[in-house]
Each structure stands twice: as structure tokens, then as C-alpha cells.
Amino acid sequence: MDFSESFRQNFIQDDRWKYLANGLRTTLIITVFAVIIGLFLGFIVAIIRATYLRTKKMLIPDLFCRLYLTVIRGTPVVVQLLIIYFVIFGSVNISKTVVAIFAFGINSGAYVAEIVRGGIMSIDVGQLEAGRSLGLNYRQTMVHIIMPQAVKNVLPALCNECIVLLKETSVAGYIAIDDLTRGGDIIRGITFAPFLPLIAVALIYLFVVILLTKLVGVLERRLAANDRR
């Protein structure tokens, strides 16, 4: 079978490209919302952790945060996904996409938390003291002095985490979500030709990641505009 014939069989016939298009849409929906949840959770956990480490306040929340980090970072995301789908939401009929968004969001939150905490801790403690001695309270110092610098420092690592998350959603097929990877699997299941569907799926992921990297690059340049040169 030559290339054009194989291409026709894998993508054109019976509109099979739609498996990939719909899969990409699902993958993007899951990724975008999971990133939002992940950032939200991650920032909260990071601030609690950093506050405890710097001021020794909030011991109990810090304990919970450490438990969360240990459990989530200590178990594979597929297992978490299956537990959330079959155990936690076992008898509730809830959209699988929502389940996946929660699972990947909660998972990502743990990694984001440690990235952001690293960013906060990288800002010299002298800045915190300076802010406090200028009459700002702890919250104001965090919001206006520490966080803007911390976020800028961790942006590349956060971008990295988004990329990882995007690719991690490829296991969503375990709970019968037709994501991009699964779209390719379905085509493979029909045509039994492994080459083209897999290459196509890989190229689409690659394209999305390149796009994402470019966007973050633009953001970084804008944020660097007021840096010393």
C-alpha cells in the first residue's frame, strides 16, 4: 500500500480525521481546565508552605499540604485517575471529562506548588524584612513585593509543567475518554496500520507544545521589559 492510499485509508475514509480533531478538542479542554485548577491549588499550597517555613505560622494547614504533596507526588497519575473515576465518584454519574479535569488538576497542583514555593523561597528573606519595616503587613509584602518576582522566576518551570500535563492527559483513555491519543488508537483499531495514526498524533502534540512554548516566550519577554539590561 503506497503512502497516499494509506493516508486516505487512515484519515479521509469515513471521515476518520474527525477522531483526531475531536480528540484534540477533548485533550485541550482537559489540559486548559486542569492547568487552571493546578495553578490555583498550587499557588495556595505554595503560599501556605512558604508562610510556614518563613514565619512558622499555619502549622496545621502546612501538615495537610505536605500530606497532599506526598500522596499526589507518590502515586502515578493513571492510578489517581482510576481511583477518582471508579472509587471517589464510583456511584455518581459525572461527566468523565470533569473527572479527568479534576484528576489532572489535582495532580498538577502538587508539582506547581513545589515550583512556586521554590520561586518564593528564591526571593531573599531581606526583601520580606524590608517590606515589613516599611509598614506593609505580611500579605501586602507577599502580594506586592515577593510574588511578582517569584512568578517571573518560575515561569519557565510552570510552562514546563503545562507541557508535561498536556502530554500526561494521553492516559485519559483509561476511563474511556476519547482524547487525542485515543483518537489515534481508534483509527489504529479500524485500519490496523500503526504508522500513520501514531505519527499524526505525535505531530499534533508537538505542534501544540511548540505553540505553547512560543506563547510563554512572548509572555516572558514582556515581563522582562523592566529588567536591568
Partner 1 sequence: MKMNRLFAGFSMLALSAVMLTGCGGPPPNPVHSVDDLKGKHIGVQLGTTGDTLASDLEDTNVEKYNKAADAVQALKQGKIDAVIVDLETANAFVDKNDDIMVLDEEFADEEYAIAVNLENEELRDELNGALQALTEDGTLPLIKANYEGDEKGQHPYEIKTGISRPKGILTMATNAEFPPYESYDGKLIVGFDVDMMNAVCDYLGYELKIDDMQFNSVLPAVQSGKADVGVAGLSVTPDREKNVLFTDNYAVTHQVIVVRRK
Task: Give the footprint of partner 1 on residues 8-67 (CB under 8 A).
Answer: 48, 51, 57-58, 60-61, 64
194 binds partner 1 (CB under 8 A): yes
Sequence-distant (≥ 6) Cβ neighbours of residue 100 within 8 angstroms: 30, 34, 81, 169, 172, 175, 177
CA atoms within 13 A on the CB side of 80: 21
**The one among 21, 88, 164, 206 contacting partner 1 by CB under 8 A:** 88
How far, CA to CA in Å, does 86 sit from each of 36, 80, 91, 120, 175? 24, 10, 8, 37, 9
Residue 7 φ then ψ, to 5°: -60, -45
**The one among 185, 200, 201, 208 contacting partner 1 by CB under 8 A:** 185
90 binds partner 1 (CB under 8 A): yes
109 binds partner 1 (CB under 8 A): no
> Closer to partner 1 at the Cβ: 162 or 172?
172
> Closer to partner 1 at the Cβ: 84 or 150?
84
Burial class (CB in 10 A: 0-12, 13-18, 19+), 152: middle
Of the ranges 27-35, 85-93, 151-159, 213-221, which one interacts with partner 1 (CB under 8 A)? 85-93
186 binds partner 1 (CB under 8 A): yes
How far, CA to CA in Å, does 180 sit from each of 47, 111, 164, 201? 35, 24, 15, 7
Instruction: List contacts with partner 1 (CB under 8 A).
Output: 48, 51, 57-58, 60-61, 64, 86-93, 173-176, 178, 182, 185-186, 188-194
